[in-house]
Every structure is written in structure tokens, then in C-alpha cells.
Amino acid sequence: MHYILPAIVFLITVANGYAGEHRTPYGGYPQGDSAYGICKENLGPKEAETAIEKYFAGKGFRAANMRHKDRFIEADIYKDNRLYDKILFDRKTGRIRSTY
């Protein structure tokens, strides 16, 4: 019993701290001409890069160092010139996920 209460307190503390940590803002379907999550067919490489750049620029981030791998694009996401996340963009679906 002496170990259970400290373990619970520790887990709650860690969960609250982790929940407060913000990573790249994924999800949702941005309005306008963004291609995020609404692709009906594969985006071309340049179209995909533009979609990534516009999506993250609208949220205050900068996408750079894009690497093409088949239907996917890996990109580094920066905030205030510091690496914030590395993402994988699926050109077929328009979905983004973190590679961390």
C-alpha cells in the first residue's frame, strides 16, 4: 500500500505534464484550398509540398527539408527556427502523422 499511492500520484503528474506538451497540430480539416485529409487522388510531389507548407504556415510553423519516399513525404517542422517535429505526409490520403 505504501507504494501504490506514490505510484498513482506519479502517474497523474506525468499524465498531466504530458497532456500539456504540444506537438505538431494534426487533425481537423482546414477550410479553404488546403489538401489536408481531403485528397481524392494522389497529389503530385510539388502539390504535396505546397499543401504541407500551407498547412503548417497557417499554424505558425515552417516545413523544410522535404524528402520524397514513394507516396510519402518526410518533412522537418520548425517553430522559431528550432526543430519541433518530423512528419510523414501521405500523398494518397493527405494525412499527416508525426514520426516521433
Nearest to 35 by CA among 58, 12, 69: 58
Q: Which long-range contacts (CB under 8 A, 24 or more apart) does 57-64 make?
A: 58/30, 58/34, 59/25, 61/24, 63/87
Instruction: Show Cβ contacts of residue 6 under 8 Å, excluding neighbours closer than 6 positions.
Output: none
Task: Name the pTM for this structure.
Answer: 0.62
Give the pLDDT confidence score for residue 93 in this predicted structure.
81
Instruction: Show Cβ contacts of residue 25 under 8 Å, excluding neighbours closer than 6 positions.
Output: 59
- Which sequence spans correspond to the domains of the chain? 35-100
pLDDT tens per residue, range 10-44: 556 555 444 444 454 555 444 345 555 556 677 88
